[in-house]
Amino acid sequence: MKNITNHKRMHLRYKSLAATSIICLCLWLVPSMPAVSGDVSNITGAFLDVGLGAAPMGMAGSNTVLVRDVHALLSNPAGLTSVNGQELAFSMTKQFSIIPYNVFLYGQKIEGVGGIGVGFLTSGDDALKENTVILSYARLIAKGIAGGLTFKYRQASYGNNDEGMWDYNGGNRQVTGDAKGFGMDIGFRGRLAKQMGFGILLKDVFSSVNYNASNEVGTAKGGSESIPTSLVLGVAYISQRYLTFEFNLRSGLHDDTSDRFYLGAERDLFNLIALRGGFSQNVNSANVNRNYTAGFGIGRAIKPMMMKIDLDFAYVINDFQNFYHIGLKLERNTK
C-alpha cells in the first residue's frame, strides 16, 4: 500500500514538472516568434481582437484566469476544463456603434477526455467581411494546472460595396478580393494559492493569412502575412465574499505595438446577479486608448430541465464612441 502511495506521489510530481516545463518552454520561445516580414507594421489590422463576449467585457476583457465557461474559446482555451455539462452562448455588439460583431460559442466537458468547444465569429459588411471558425480543446495537465489549444480558420471578403467605386483615368480602381488563413492559440490556467490563480495566453503563436486581390485596371496585388503574436499574463484573486478581481497584461512583443493592461472586478449577489466593472489602457504609447466598462449578469436556474439561463450586458465608455455588448448563455448539466 505504501509503495502504491509513493508511486502516485511520484506520478503527480512528474506531471507537475512536465507541465511547468511545457509552460516555461512556451514562454522561452515567445521572444523568437518572427515579426511580420519586410517593412510591414506589426500593428494588427485584419482580424483584430476587439474584445468580445458581454460577460468578459463587463470586466474590461480581463478574463484569462477567471474564465470558467464557454467564453474560454475567446479568452483562454484552458478554461474549458471548468465547463459544466454543455454550454451554448451568443453575444453581439457594434464596435464604436459602427462595426457589427456576432459570436456563437458551444462548449462541452467530456469525462476522461477534457473540455471541447467550437465557435463562429462574424463581423463587418460588404466593404470588409471577416469570419472565423474556432476549435478548442483543453485538459488538466497537472494537479491544479490546465492547458488548452485553439485552432482558428479565417476567411474574409472585401471591396464589394457599391460606394467604394473609384474611377480614375478611365478605370475603376476599387480593389476586391478575399482572404483565407489560420491561427493557433496556446493557453494555461492554474492556482497560485488557495484564493489566487494565474493565466497565460499565447495568442496567434502560429498564423498566416493569404490575400487575393484584383481591380479593373490591374494594379491590385495580393499577398500573405501573419497576425502578430501577443502574450497575455493574468492573475486573479477570489475573496470569500463572492468578490473577484483579475489583472491582465498583454504584451505586443514588438517595438511598434503597444502593451495594454486590463483590470476587472465582479461581485456576485445572492447567486442571482453579478455586477461587473473594469478599466483598460495602453501603457507604453502616446495613444492611451482608455476604456471604462460596466456590466451585469442575471442568471436563473430551471431545475426541471436541469438548465440555467444567463443574460449579460456590458457598456464600454471609449474616447471615440461608447457602445454596448449583449450576451445570452444556456447551460445544461445532466448531473
Mean pLDDT of 134-152: 94
Q: Which of 229, 234, 152, 134 is nearest to 188 (CA)?
A: 234
- Digit-coded pLDDT (tens) for 160-202: 887 767 776 767 778 888 999 999 999 999 998 888 999 999 9
- Digit-coded pLDDT (tens) for 96-142: 778 899 999 999 998 889 999 999 999 988 888 999 999 999 999 98
Q: Which of 62, 72, 125, 58 is nearest to 94 (CA)?
A: 125
- Digit-coded pLDDT (tens) for 236-279: 998 877 899 999 999 876 666 788 999 999 999 888 899 999 99
3-state secondary structure of 3: helix
- Digit-coded pLDDT (tens) for 72-89: 999 999 999 999 889 999
Cα 77 to the center of its chain, rounded Å: 8
Residue 115 corresponds to which cell in the numbers above?
Answer: 473540455
d(CA 91, CA 305): 23
Identify the CATH number of the domain defined by range 2-32+62-332.
2.40.160.40
Q: Which of 90, 293, 63, 311 is nearest to 197 (CA)?
A: 63
3-state secondary structure of 291: strand
Given a contact cutoff of 8 angstroms between Cβ atoms, the answer to whether 149 and 186 are in contact is yes
Q: What is the pLDDT of residue 304?
A: 78
Q: pTM for the complete prediction?
A: 0.84
Number of other CB atoms surrounding residue 44 within 10 Å:
16
Would you say residue 14 has pLDDT above 50?
no
Would you say residue 50 has pLDDT above 70?
yes
- Digit-coded pLDDT (tens) for 292-328: 999 999 998 888 778 899 999 999 998 888 999 999 9
Q: What is the pLDDT of residue 155?
A: 95
Strands (E), 194-322: 196-214, 223-225, 230-238, 243-251, 260-269, 273-282, 291-302, 307-318
Q: Which of 176, 273, 276 is nearest to 221 (CA)?
A: 176
Q: Any residues with CB less than 8 A from the CB of 53 and at least 6 apart, and which?
A: 63, 71, 74, 75, 89, 91, 103, 312, 325, 327
pLDDT band at 11; cut points 50, 70, 90 = very low
Q: Which of 317, 321, 279, 310 is nearest to 91 (CA)?
A: 310
For the chain, give every domain's residue range: 2-32+62-332
Kindly state the percentage of the chain with pLDDT values over 70. 83
171-172 and 167-168 strand pairing: antiparallel
